[in-house]
Amino acid sequence: MACCIIPPGQEVHTTTPAGRTIVIPPDVETYVTFPPAIPESSASDTQKPRYARSLLLLSDAHGIHLPSTQHIADRFAHTLHCPVIVPDQFHGSPHPLIKPPDFDNDLAMRELPVKHNPDSVDPILTHVLEWMQRSPEHEKGGLGGVSNIGGIGYCFGARFIIRLLSQHQISAAVINHPSFHTSEELNALNGSSGPLAFYAAETDEIFTEEKRREMENVLKGNGVRWMETVFGGVEHGFSIRGDDNVPEVRFAKNQAFTGAVVWFEEFLPSE
């Protein structure tokens, strides 16, 4: 699967989202989803200290309104019993889900990391992380003083999970078929960074085998606690946009989800 292309006719999740969209000050549109045992919550009524941990999910280039992204966020909230926060990294201009006939996807992919670079994305994530760690009684609202924050990123979002982990802004991380990260960002990870797991596709035109080997060597050389799983018979994007009708893809997708759950249960304290 080429980056950010959903083949015509491929099924996407059509289940009703369990979460909802809020705006985190000053203007970050965010999909938030909570464990089912807890009544529906919002930036104004979440009570402290309801959650010991929370998960920051950074999407692929399609952004927070991709049904598959909301579906997997809901699954993490249900399985990990914690809030999952999915901010709009693109400030309202993600890669289009429905593309016009003359749309140049290759050009759009080249422009994406230029337009949505750390100078534009980092401040968005700062607002979100501050909100997650604030009390709901704060004048700008908050999630409730969450201290243990994990991060999971897909494709585009994986780059910024790497950055947050190297900056010690999250405690543990999982990335899936990462895109657009630099060698400098990767090398900023070291033994004091939280643990990192990554899931990769055998065939990936962005996270190539060469880049995968580079990541392995850096993590090993820098003393990072890490784990890697590579799935054969799948392509870039499998864990978030993979076709469930294809057995190999469905298996890899489910294993990447389950592996992330196990990783966070081990390395993201819930008490």
Helix axes 156-166 and 118-133, enclosed angle (nearest 10): 60
Of 71, 116, 177, 236, the catalytic one is 236
Per-residue burial over 26-37, b if 16 or more Cβ lie within 10 Å, else e, is eebbbbbbbbee
Distances (CA, A) of 57 to 8, 38, 137, 156, 203: 26, 20, 24, 11, 24
Which residues is 199 bridged to in the sheet? 176, 229
Torsion of the alpha carbons at 197, 203, 204 and 207, rounded to the nearest 10: 40
Active-site position among 60, 88, 204, 243: 204
Active site residue 27: no
Is-contact 136 39, C-beta < 8 A? no
Strand partners, 21: 31
> Is residue 236 flagged as an active site residue?
yes
Active site residue 155: yes
Gap between the Cα atoms of 44 and 23, Å rounded: 11
Q: Catalytic residue, from 4, 155, 177, 243: name it.
A: 155
| Residues designated as active site | 155, 204, 236
